[in-house]
Amino acid sequence: MGEGHFKSKRQSYFPEELQWLWDTRYSSWWISDDEVFEFSERDYENKAKLLKDAGINTVITFGGFHDRWNWHHLWPRLLEVLSSIVKACHKFNIRVVEHHSAVLVGRLSDPQKIREYLRKYNINLARHPQYLKNFLTDPIIEGVKFSSMHQIDIRTGKSSQTQYQTYAFCPNNPDYQRLYLKHLEDIYRCGVDGIMTDDIQFLPGMYSCGCVWCRKLFTKETGYFIPENGFADERFFNNFDNPAFRAFINFRIKTCSSDFPRRVNEHFQRLGYILARPNYSSGDTTIFGPVGTGFNLEEGMPYFNTAFTEVCSVENPLACWSWLIMEFKHRSALSRLYGVPAMVLFYPLNPSQGYFCWAFSKLLGQNLWNTRWGATTKEESLLSAKGNNFQEKYPELFERPKNCGNIALFFSRRTRTNYQATREDFYVYEYAGWCQQLFLHNLLFDVVLEEDLEDGLDNKEYDLLILPNTACLSDKQVTNIKKFVKNGGKLIAVFETGHFDQNGNRRKRPALEDLFGVEDRGVINSHDWWRQSNTSRFFENLEPYIANCRPYRRIKASPSSEILLRSIWDPVCVRNHYGAGEVIYFAGYLGNQANTTHPIWPPEGDLYGPEGKNFFYGFNKSEPEIIKLLLQSVKKLLANRLTLETSPIPTGTLVGLFKHQRFHTLHILNATKTLRKHGEVFYQKGTWRISPLGEIEVRVRGLSLQKATIFSPDYSQPVSIPIKFQNKISILKIPEDTVRYYSVVKLE
Ligand SMILES: [Zn+2]
């Protein structure tokens, strides 16, 4: 298939000149005192060459000058530094993306803490006397006092104080907008290839911003009023039954995610620049991200041309993946919907962790930025060198990958934002559990988004749609879901799916009762045991009773539907035929009782401490029998229609399948020893350990293959793989020892 196969459904700002973003291998360019005081042209070039030799082709600026407003006295010198970086990098065909905090300003901690903070970035406070003075006064820039641009905490009516120990400027303040765009204009003149405006958020949490500009704009756009400054009105804050509060949460998201990046893009486009706009989010599917801070990458995507996840430095680079897959797969969904690359930022501590992060990004079909606080250029370059050099040698294996898989898992941002968004376990963890278990068990899937269901899913593309308590659905989405099933699609739905409209207003009747084959009769708030119905043998090898620890819906099964599971009193899982398709409906939660281990960094832990003293803690309270229900419902509905199956392999052996222009690739990663258990204590340091895998048989449905060759950075010569073709299934026998850490099979 040609180019058309990769055609996106929605448009981003992604002109022809920026298509190089597909093939990017990133690192940071850490800016320190060296650049400001010492560097010669030769030094810049040596630094660029070191990065080039490690396979880096794009750098993103980073370091202690990141909180840009705190250094406004040094702007002229920092712009000279940036020009020198651009000049040296361009000489070695490396592109430069300028990255800084656009709103954070001031620092509330004492001078000793500031000194230590800057030392981490190789900046000596003694050489910057003006920096401390900026904190003790209220600086003025072009006649505008900094404090007049601060976000206002509605609870106090005073300047908001952020979790970063700073204040933050308000993106709706016109003085701020004017001064910031002017600074950006100076940055563009340095010749940068892209711009990343970090931290466009309302902080802290949902109590910001109560400034006059936000009040005026909110009332103009919505007709509602922001509560008076001075206290947290409980009828408003955290009350998702109050449409004014939901409007406020959505107004904040629109300000940060849509209005702000649009203003930046219109400005540079008016000036005639064409700039890369990569942008990250660490928690786009979570409540603490978009609902808590107002930034939602998903809603900003028309203005960005790379969708990426920041795996924060307080995550464990080797163990975080099984939890964070909920984020990674969401960025792949944005990549597919908008036709732009996805990527991931990790903070690995050593080249072994860096290699894992590189290989994992390839398993996702995403680009990578590995970086480490305080690394020398040599150390930074070695974080990804092994993987990058392999990628440079075989670029075609990574070219514009399109994920294969016939399962669609719906992530509903409207449900996330408008439905009980005070806690993650009503919706977010339900989505997360499905995402995590599908991924862990190599059930190849795409996450699909609001727009996908507004347009309607293609029955040729997907065989199964999963609705993990997606409570908020529009009428159009309801119609399209019914059409998908009527035409032969399979569906799994959970709990209150379809009980609300897209804005979070409860419907008079749940929208999909007829499809599910049930009549809904309200909620049961107790935790009851579930068991297989006497008449059903659908699920296999279940314990006699399953501990359901969450509320569930009381339902009456319609005569046409088959009861698969019961509580003591009521049906809790039914199977219904609808048109040519089939539906399984669970009246209670599954995903949020089936999460993978969440590595938690306790506040008293020290990330980098010696083993035996400081730690991460594995948290996992999932119910093994519920995980069985989840996996069996998928496998049984898709009987003989799974895109890919393997011989029994140790959990944590991960497989990905991608379509490229002329062939497919199969990626295999050995992450078996990175999985963690509940209660396990472990450390940030350490290397990627493996246990050997035996021969692996992989069965790929629907591909008639002629040739398969396996490549790996772990050995030098590619190996040919025998193929058998049987009943429309290609069977590959991948020999022992051809997959050690990571390998990729070219399928032709
Ligand atoms: Zn404001």
Q: How many domains does the chain have?
A: 3
Please tell me the distance between residue 137's alpha carbon and the centre of ligand 1 in angstroms: 22
Could you tell me if 144 and 174 are in contact, meaning their C-beta atoms sit under 8 angstroms apart?
A: no
Q: Which one has a higher pLDDT value, 300 or 527?
A: 300
Same domain, 142 and 280: yes
| Torsion on CA atoms 180, 183, 185, 188, rounded to nearest 10 | -120
User: Cβ(222)–Cβ(255) under 8 Å?
Assistant: no
Cα of 203 vs centre of ligand 1, distance in Å, is 10
Report the pLDDT averaged over residues 151-170.
94
CA end-to-end span of the chain: 13
Let me know whether 415 and 541 are in one domain. Answer: yes
- Domain assignment present for 57: yes
Q: Could you give the CA distance from residue 78 to residue 455 in angstroms, rounded to a whole number? A: 47
How far is the CA of 419 from the CAs of 240, 496, 506, 566, in angstroms?
7, 10, 10, 27
Which of 310, 327, 347 is the endpoint of a domain?
310
Percent of the chain beyond pLDDT 70? 97
Distance of alpha carbon 85 from alpha carbon 520, whole angstroms: 63
Residues 496 and 521 in one domain: yes
User: What's at 228, amino acid-wise?
Assistant: E
pLDDT of residue 606: 58
Instruction: Give the distance (Å) from ligand 1 centre to CA of residue 426.
Output: 30
Q: Are residues 80 and 229 in the same domain?
A: yes
Q: How far is the CA of 169 from the centre of ligand 1 (A)?
A: 8
Each residue's pLDDT tens digit, 397-430: 999 999 999 999 999 999 999 998 889 999 999 9
Q: Is residue 497 part of a domain?
A: yes
The 8 Å CB, 24+ separation contacts for 232-236 are: 232/154, 232/155, 232/207
**C-alpha 105 to ligand 1 mean position (Å):** 15
User: Buried (b) or exposed (e) across 163-179, using 16+ Cβ within 10 A?
Assistant: eeebbbbbbbbebbbeb
Question: Could you give the CA distance from residue 458 to residue 489 in angstroms, rounded to a whole number?
Answer: 9
Specify the pLDDT at position 609. 54
* Residue 253 alpha carbon to ligand 1 centre in Å: 13
How far apart are the CA of 568 and the centre of ligand 1, in A? Answer: 53
pLDDT of residue 5: 47
Rg (CA), the chain: 26
Which whole number is the average pLDDT over 237-256?
96
Is residue 520 one of the residues assigned to a domain?
A: yes
Kindly state whether residue 717 falls inside one of the protein's structural domains: yes
| 223-232, 420-429, 484-493, 596-605: range with lowest mean pLDDT | 596-605
Q: Can the peptide bond before residue 204 be classed as cis, meaning omega within 30 degrees of 0?
A: yes
568 and 449 in a common domain: yes
Q: How many Å apart are CA 481 and CA 171, to the nearest integer?
A: 38
pLDDT in tens, 432-487: 999 999 999 999 999 999 999 999 999 999 999 999 999 999 999 999 999 999 99
Statement to judge: residues 710 and 567 lie in one domain: no
pLDDT by residue (tens digit) across 4-18? 445 788 999 999 999
In this prediction, residue 600 carries a pLDDT of: 85
* Ligand 1 centroid distance, CA of 171 (Å): 7
Helix pair angle (624-637, 428-440), 10° resolution: 70
CA distance 52 to 89: 9
CATH number at residue 94: 3.20.20.80
pLDDT tens for residues 73-105?
A: 999 999 999 999 999 999 999 999 999 999 999
Query: pLDDT digit string (tens) for 695-734?
Result: 999 999 988 899 999 999 999 999 999 999 998 899 999 9
Is the pLDDT assigned to residue 534 strictly greater than 60?
yes
Give the Å distance between the CA of 666 and the centre of ligand 1.
49
Is the pLDDT at 2 greater than 70, yes or no?
no
d(CA 721, CA 719): 6
pLDDT > 90 in the chain, percent:
88
The answer to whether residue 137 scores a pLDDT higher than 90 is no
The Å distance, Cα 219 to ligand 1 centre, comes to 13
| Cβ atoms of residues 644 and 391 within 8 Å | no
* C-alpha distances out from residue 685 to 316, 350, 352, 353, 671, Å: 9, 8, 10, 9, 16
| 637 confidence band (pLDDT: 50, 70, 90) | very high
Of 636, 671, 700, the residue at which a domain comes to its end is 636
- Asked if residue 472 has a cis previous peptide bond (ω within 30° of 0), the answer is no
Cα–Cα distances in angstroms (integers) from residue 708 to residues 125, 191, 351, 655, 716, in the given order: 58, 44, 30, 16, 17
State the burial class of residue 112 (Cβ atoms within 10 Å of its Cβ: 0-12, 13-18, 19+). Answer: exposed
Does 290 fall in a domain? yes
512 CB neighbour count, 10 Å cutoff: 24
Tokens of 409: 């898992």
Contact between 56 and 94 (Cβ < 8 Å) = yes
- The pLDDT score that the predictor gives to residue 674 is 96
* CA separation for the pair 390, 394 (Å, rounded): 6
Smallest Cα–Cα separation from 267: which of 190, 186, 339, 199?
186
**174 CA to centre of ligand 1 in angstroms:** 10
Please say whether the beta carbons of 281 and 297 come within 8 A.
yes
Q: What is the domain range of residue 411?
A: 407-611+622-636
Residues 531 and 656 in one domain: no
Name the pTM for this structure. 0.97
For the chain, what is the mean pLDDT? 94
648 touches 666 (CB < 8 A): no
In this structure, is residue 349 part of a structural domain?
Answer: no
CA distance 83 to 363: 36
pLDDT, tens only, 647-693: 999 999 999 999 999 999 999 999 999 999 999 888 888 899 999 99
Q: What is the mean pLDDT of residues 36-49?
A: 98
Enter the DSSP assignment of 148: G
601 & 662 share domain? no
Residues 236-259 have a mean pLDDT of: 96
Q: Give a yes or no: residue 383 inside a domain.
A: no
What CATH number is associated with residue 718?
2.60.40.1180
Same domain (yes/no): 595, 646: no
Encode pLDDT of 163-214 as tens digits.
888 999 999 999 999 999 999 999 999 999 999 999 999 998 899 999 999 9
Phi, psi of 656 (to 5 degrees): -130, 145
Alpha carbon of 260 to ligand 1 centroid (Å): 13
Are 266 and 260 a contacting pair, CB within 8 Å?
no
Residues 291 and 415 in one domain: no
| Å from CA of 463 to ligand 1 middle | 46
**Nearest by Cα to 521 from 480, 472, 557, 494:** 557
Residue 357 placed within a domain: no
Could you tell me the two tokens for 309? 């996840």
Average pLDDT over residues 533-561: 94
Residue type, 78: L
Do 168 and 218 reside in the same domain of the chain? yes
> What number of other Cβ atoms are within 10 A of residue 586's Cβ?
28
Which of 299-303, 448-452, 525-529 has the weakest average pLDDT?
Answer: 525-529
Do 245 and 235 meet the contact criterion of CB atoms below 8 Å apart? no
**3 confidence band (pLDDT: 50, 70, 90):** very low
* CATH code for the domain of 421: 3.40.50.880
Q: Which of 667, 670, 687 is nearest to 741 (CA)?
A: 670
Neighbours of ion ligand 1 (CB under 5 A): 170, 172, 209, 211, 214
Query: Does residue 234 share a domain with residue 205?
Result: yes
Assign 3-state DSSP to the chain and report helix, strand, coil percentages, each to 5.
35, 25, 40
77 burial class (0-12, 13-18, 19+ CB within 10 angstroms)? middle
For the chain, give the number of residues: 748
